[in-house]
């Protein structure tokens, strides 16, 4: 056991999967006697979990290292995660960094920091990515209302713009037994909602060591998780359209636990661009998935990922995407601007779109997203839904999400934190959130 005065702080960039892994590493270190403190506090060790998807990964990393050293110039600075796997030497050259761990080593960080000293040269422990063929189960408990549960890691897809397979390795999964055990652990912590996470969760079932045979399907996982006692809600994070099967959609439509919220990457509404991206579907299949969801769950929230400015995306092809999305009954967009990545096919493609044009297209789709979200929220007004209230208090207001991912707000009431409450969706405020009333109060008022 270590001296329990040794403190550690964490900063996580990127996706829910990173948050799940940071949380698991934190629990390992707490068991060894470390004391966890906030990142803006003075700590003996700072651990930064990086992301390779963001445009300015290098700049972000430098900024966060500087923040840590401002708090404690003698602190050990450890950088892990996707960017650390892809660019370990560049990170090691950042002033103040002491340790860089790649995809395989990050879960053994305690072995390295026990011996680590504040030296002039950073230590690098980074594997070849094909060595990252094992699965480490993880889950995070962020704001005490929901947990991110990692069920899958890595990706076997070869999308021409993406470095994630280079950063995380082959597709592999947790065992069904282990997922259920972790879900039960979460349920015992009075967590009301689980969000299933992974790199490509629809590919769930490939063995722990990446063997290609599916031990279980994603649909089987969903059916078993539906039976775990004590969990009020389970939310499926991003899932590829070709892997979101009708049987899963039908099951969610009948489930009292799985919520009516789907996030389905599109990336482009142009079939020509989808082919250049080496996506595994065309726009017709995507439209079928959205139509299927709407046919069985009228109030479902449907989120969409889209990339603008991919090489070869002419104005005509961009407008194909814009018009395609405009025609779909979806609820919101996550818009990404294409940026060049080393060791990808797309970086050598012709038809480079100017940065200014990429920004213009991004802005157009973000405006469309706001219109789609507003229309979806308007369609929900006058309905009774269930909200899970969060702990945030912003100017005397509290916030939460309904089962179908409408962000709602009402005056702060500490007693409602982490509680599920039936509410009446009343109106949309100036910030775009939905103002609500207690369903009990509303029904009494209407009946009275």
249-256: long-range contacts at Cβ-Cβ below 8 A with a sequence spacing of 24 or more? 249/289, 249/292, 249/293, 249/296, 249/297, 250/296, 251/219, 251/222, 251/223, 251/226, 252/222, 252/297, 253/296, 253/297, 255/226
Instruction: Look at residue 209 and tell me whether its pLDDT is greater than 70.
Output: no
pLDDT tens digits along 178-197: 999 999 999 998 899 999 99
Task: Indicate if the pLDDT at residue 43 is higher than 70.
Answer: yes
Return d(Cα 447, Cα 439) in angstroms, integer.
12
Q: What is the pLDDT of residues 227-258, one digit of tens each?
A: 999 899 999 999 999 999 999 999 999 999 99
Q: Say how far apart CA 77 and CA 193 lie, in whole Å.
A: 33
Q: What is the pTM of this model?
A: 0.87
The Cβ of residue 235 has, within 10 Å, a number of other Cβ atoms equal to 21
pLDDT band for position 13 (cuts 50, 70, 90): confident
* pLDDT tens, position by position, 271-310: 999 999 999 999 999 999 999 999 999 999 999 999 999 9
The CA distance from 4 to 306, in Å, is 46
Is residue 439's pLDDT more than 90?
Answer: no
């Amino acid at each position: 056991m270590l001296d329990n005065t040794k403190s550690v702080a964490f900063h996580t960039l990127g996706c829910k999967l990173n948050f799940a892994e940071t949380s698991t590493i934190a629990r390992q270190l707490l068991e060894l006697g470390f004391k966890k403190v906030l990142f803006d506090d003075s700590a003996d060790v700072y651990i930064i979990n990086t992301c390779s998807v963001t445009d300015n990964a290098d700049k972000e990393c430098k900024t966060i290292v500087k923040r840590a050293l401002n708090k404690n110039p003698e602190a050990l600075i450890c950088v892990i995660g996707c960017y650390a796997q892809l660019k370990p030497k560049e990170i090691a050259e950042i002033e103040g960094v002491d340790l860089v761990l790649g995809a395989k080593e990050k879960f053994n960080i305690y072995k390295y920091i026990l011996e680590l000293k504040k030296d002039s040269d950073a230590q690098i422990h980074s594997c070849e990515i094909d060595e990252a063929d094992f699965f480490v189960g993880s889950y995070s408990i962020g704001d005490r209302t929901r947990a991110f549960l990692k069920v899958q890691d890595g990706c076997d897809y070869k999308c021409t713009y993406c470095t994630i397979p280079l950063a995380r390795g082959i597709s592999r999964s947790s065992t069904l037994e282990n997922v259920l055990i972790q879900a039960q652990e979460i349920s015992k912590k009075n967590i009301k909602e689980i969000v299933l996470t992974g790199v490509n969760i629809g590919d769930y079932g490939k063995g722990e060591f990446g063997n290609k045979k599916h031990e279980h399907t994603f649909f089987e996982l969903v059916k078993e998780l539906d039976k775990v006692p004590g969990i009020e809600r389970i939310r499926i994070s991003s899932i590829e359209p070709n892997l979101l099967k009708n049987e899963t959609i039908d099951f969610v439509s009948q489930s009292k636990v799985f919520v009516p919220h789907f996030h389905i990457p599109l990336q482009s509404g142009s079939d020509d661009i989808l082919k250049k991206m080496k996506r595994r579907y065309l726009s017709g299949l995507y439209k079928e998935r959205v139509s299927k969801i709407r046919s069985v769950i009228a109030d479902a929230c449907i989120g969409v990922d889209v990339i603008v400015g991919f090489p070869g995306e002419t104005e005509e092809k961009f407008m194909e995407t814009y018009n395609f999305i405009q025609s779909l009954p979806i609820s919101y967009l996550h818009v990404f601007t294409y940026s060049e990545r080393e060791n990808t096919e797309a970086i050598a493609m012709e038809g480079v779109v100017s940065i200014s044009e990429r920004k213009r297209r991004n802005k157009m789709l973000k405006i469309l997203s706001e219109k789609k979200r507003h229309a979806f929220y308007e369609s929900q007004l006058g309905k009774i839904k269930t909200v899970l209230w969060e702990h945030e208090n912003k100017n005397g207001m509290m916030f939460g999400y309904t089962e179908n991912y409408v962000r709602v707000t009402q005056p702060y009431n500490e007693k409602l934190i982490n509680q599920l409450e039936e509410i009446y969706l009343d109106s949309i405020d100036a910030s775009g959130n939905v103002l609500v009333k207690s369903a009990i109060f509303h029904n009494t008022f209407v009946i009275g």
